Amino acid sequence: MVVAERELRDLWLAGRGLPLLLAYSVLLSVTSYLVAANQALNFLEQREAVSLTLQVAVAVGALLVLLGAADSVSGERERSTLESLLLSPAPRRSLVIGKTVAALSLWAAAWIVSLPYVWYLGRGVGVVGVAVAAGLAVGSLLALFLAGYGLFISIIVSSNRLSLSVSLFVLLALYAPTQMPTAVQNSWIGELLLRLDPFTAGLRYLGRLVINGRGAGQGAGWLIGPLVAAVVAVAAALIVAGRLGLQGGDRA
């Protein structure tokens, strides 16, 4: 708990938490304005406008977690502050858990910021409650996945720039199947690849839930990928936490 409080204080009072949240708010404002304008021109139905804004809010909000997690350990190395952290009496897994909590606080703040936008676009069509609850569930799974994944990379590499580069490169690689031709995506192998990508699977679940008005249980199979990814990533981060050292991957 003490470690988490320290990390939260460093992130929000002396770190990048507020600037990232401000940039996120500006992005959501621009997105909401554009979808509202297209809705007024009848280019988008109201449910589609809510779905698009919700998906942007969830995806970008989860990516904020990755930025925080990927910088958490490798950034300490580059700033020469990791040694004092390792000399503290707290177990190393507690240090990693504290950094995970701090990174996840970015998602919590982003979700709160997104609520007025989803409410404004979804008022009158009865999808606000569903959108908010589903967005929280899917976004939390993606945030857990990216927190664990970002910390895992940050622990095993020595450079902050390398940590961010590797983290973003792997996400882009996972996104590649969405660029396949529609016929391939509709095949069994194409759908399997889409379901294996936590982001694609989670956002498709949100889109179908909000636009088509389906029940939360319908299409819940799309959430298997994000759930498995979240469990594996967090477990991997906790396992390598025992190897946390001054150099990436070294056992101190």
* Residue-wise pLDDT tens digits, 120-161: 888 877 888 889 999 999 999 999 999 999 999 888 887 778
**Whether pLDDT at 163 is above 80:** yes
Residue given tokens 């009496």 in the structure block: 89
**Mean pLDDT (whole number) for 65-77:** 83
CA nearest neighbour of 105 among 203, 239, 9, 241: 9
Helix, strand or coil, per DSSP, at residue 41: coil
Burial of 126 (0-12, 13-18, 19+ CB in 10 A): exposed
Least trusted range by pLDDT, from 70-74, 114-118, 182-186, 239-243: 182-186
Rounded to whole angstroms, how far apart are CA atoms 93 and 251?
13
The reported pLDDT for the residue numbered 92 is 75
Closest CA to 163 of 229, 37, 73, 46: 73
Confidence of residue 190 (pLDDT cuts 50, 70, 90): confident
Residue 251: pLDDT band (50, 70, 90) is very low
Nearest CA to 191 out of 225, 215, 218, 160 is that of: 225
Distance between CA atoms of 132 and 61, rounded to whole angstroms?
14
For residue 28, the surrounding DSSP H or E stretch is helix 17-40
DSSP code at position 178: G
Q: Is 138 or 36 the better-scoring residue by pLDDT?
A: 138
| Mean local confidence (pLDDT), 219-244 | 88
> What pLDDT is stored for residue 37 in this prediction?
82
Average pLDDT over residues 96-110: 91
Is pLDDT at 229 greater than 90 in this prediction? yes
Confidence band for 218, pLDDT divided at 50, 70 and 90: confident
What confidence tens digit (pLDDT) does each residue in 41-62 have?
565 688 888 999 999 999 999 9
Position 73 scores a pLDDT of 79
Q: What is the pLDDT of residues 107-124, one digit of tens each?
A: 999 999 999 999 988 887
Instruction: Give me the pLDDT at residue 60, please.
Output: 93
Highest mean pLDDT among 35-44, 156-165, 226-235: 226-235
Q: Which pLDDT band, with edges at 50, 70 and 90, does 217 fall under?
A: confident
Task: Choose between 203 and 212: higher pLDDT.
Answer: 203
